[in-house]
Structure 1
Amino acid sequence: MIRTYLVDDHNLFCEGIDRILTQSGQFHVLQKFYNGASLLEKVQEWEVDLLIMDIEMPLINGLDIIKRVKLYNQQVKIALLTMHEEQAYIQEAYLLGADAYLNKSMETQALIGSLLTVCTGKKVFPRFTLFEKENNLLSKREEEILKLIARGKTSATIAEALQISELTVKTHRRNMMRKLQANNTSEMITKAIEKGII
């Protein structure tokens, strides 16, 4: 039996996944958490094989949880189960060491199969390219956000203007800094100007 933790702020969804995993006969759900903070309170006590969690949650988001979990436990497999399909999230999750990026709308058998694959040591990510081509360093969305950052707009303001979440903006920002090899916002903007991006 695969010892499993579930983390999702939607109680009904969490209960549903618990039933699906239990009925498969392959997983033993040890505990369910409804926010990232309560999960991390017990991170040093873990004896668990698989962590399944959403990205956007109150207090601490799923991407930040990956970083903290990996500090204490390199062996645990981490599967993100989310409705977010943005490339920025997928890239960030991959780079942080997640083992799977799965969509909440997937069929039950596909979910079980993907989770079992992850537990064998393989990664399960969407088929499209994880990284932009070199001659197209930033995606169109990243360029759009970068131009707004250069104009002094905050993440909250950008999120409202583009009708996306603030977490999405922050994730794009981190990815742009990595791609441009910048240590801070000012350096990121300078390098973008030098490369003719903005």
Structure 2
Amino acid sequence: MTDVNVMLVDDHPLFRRGVAELLQDSGHFRVTAQFSHPDQVLEAVNDSVPDLVLLDLHMPGQSGLELLQAIKERHSGVKVVMLTASDDPTHLMDALRLGAEGYLLKDTEPGLILERLESILNGQLGLDDEMMLLLREGLRRQDSLQDTGRSLPTSASPADEHWYATLTERERETLVWISRGLSNKLIAREMGISDSTVKVYVKSLLRKLHLHSRLELAAWVHTNPLPDNILC
């Protein structure tokens, strides 16, 4: 099994050391760099292009969300997982909107952290049950603000109960496979099409459902059960 090159970014040295040891001892992850301050992170990502960046949300000088956005703008293929103490639904929603592949709390059991990271690397949803509840709260909060005429710079679930009528047959099929936790590569295999074609369908779904990332789409499906007749 090929080692996954990981970069750690966290301003707490003891926590960072513990995570590094956890990853190294797993036999699958290799920590190639550690940073306590965000200043040099983007340059390091440019130089080494790691497979995975574990990123704290609150750091001196620059927020983890700002750094997440900068990394994704330059290296969209680098997976970024927020590892944070914040259980604020707004932070979770913002991270998903900016392209994070996962959002984990620092008090998560070590074994569950490894399991979740493995799932993320396999293209599966990078949120555990607790994060799904937070996401549901975030979506509910956005809907409430929209009902009062206010707006948020983040996504919202479709208000029309017949939203699925706007989707093409292939988009509906793609959404069903996403609801079952399949990655783009596995969806392509099931549908007999290329990965790039699946990405086209996913991009169209994001536009029609007013979402911003594939992870946010997968999470939305989990919080909004698909109608029985979606493939009709």
Paired position in structure 2 for 1:117: 119
CA distance 1:64–1:135, shift in 2 (3 Å): closer
Aligned length, in residue pairs: 147
Segments of 5+ residues of structure 2 without an aligned counterpart are: 157-232
Q: Is the 8 A contact 1:43 1:72 kept in 2?
A: no
- In structure 1, how many angstroms separate the alpha carbons of the residues matched to 2:11 and 2:54? 12
1:92-116 CA-to-partner distances (Å, cap 9, x unmatched) read 0010000111010011110000011
Residue identity in the other structure for 1:111: I
| Whole-angstrom CA distance in 1 between matches of 2:33 and 2:85 | 22
Residue 152 of structure 2 is matched in structure 1 by 176
Residue 53 in 1 paired to residue 55 in 2?
A: yes
| Deviation for aligned residue 1:55 | 0.1
Partner of 1:176, secondary structure, is: coil
Whole-Å Cα distance in 2 between the matches of residues 135 and 76 of structure 1?
A: 31
| Alignment counterpart, residue 86 of structure 1, candidates 64, 85, 88 | 88
Report the counterpart of residue 105 of structure 1 in structure 2.
107
Question: Alpha carbons of 1:19 and 1:131: their partners in 2 closer, same or farther (altered >3 Å)?
Answer: same
Residue 53 of structure 1: how far off its partner (Å): 1.1
The CA deviation at 1:177 is 4.1
Contact 1:4 1:48 in 2 (8 A): yes
- Rounded Cα–Cα distance in structure 1 between residues aligned with 2:32 and 2:101: 20
Q: CA deviation at 1:46?
A: 2.5
1:23 maps to amino acid: D
Q: Deviations over 1:26-47 (max 9, x none)?
A: 1000010111112123232133
* Structure 1 gap segments, 5+ residues each: 140-145, 147-174, 181-198
Q: What is aligned with 2:206?
A: none
Contact 1:52 1:79 in 2 (8 A): yes
Q: Which amino acid aligns with 2:25?
A: Q
Residue type of the alignment partner of 1:85: D
Tell me by how many angstroms 1:136 deviates: 1.2
Partner of 2:226: none
Among candidates 136, 144, 159, match of residue 144 of structure 2: 136
**C-alpha distance in structure 2 between counterparts of 1:7 and 1:46, whole Å:** 15
Amino acid at match of 1:44: N
Q: Is the 8 A contact 1:137 1:179 kept in 2?
A: no
Change (3 A) 1:41 1:138: same
Provide the rounded CA distance (Å) in 1 between the counterparts of 2:95 and 2:125: 11
User: What is the TM-score when the length of structure 1 is the normalising length?
Assistant: 0.68
Q: Secondary structure at the match of 2:92?
A: helix
TM-score normalised per structure 2: 0.58
Distance 1:53 1:104, change over 3 A: same
**Counterpart for residue 95 of structure 1:** 97
| Amino-acid identity (%) | 27
What CA distance in whole angstroms lies between the structure 1 residues aligned with 2:142 and 2:58?
29
SS at match of 2:139: coil
SS in 1 for 2:113: helix
| Superposed displacement of residue 179, structure 1 | 6.6
Specify the SS of the correspondent of 1:30: strand
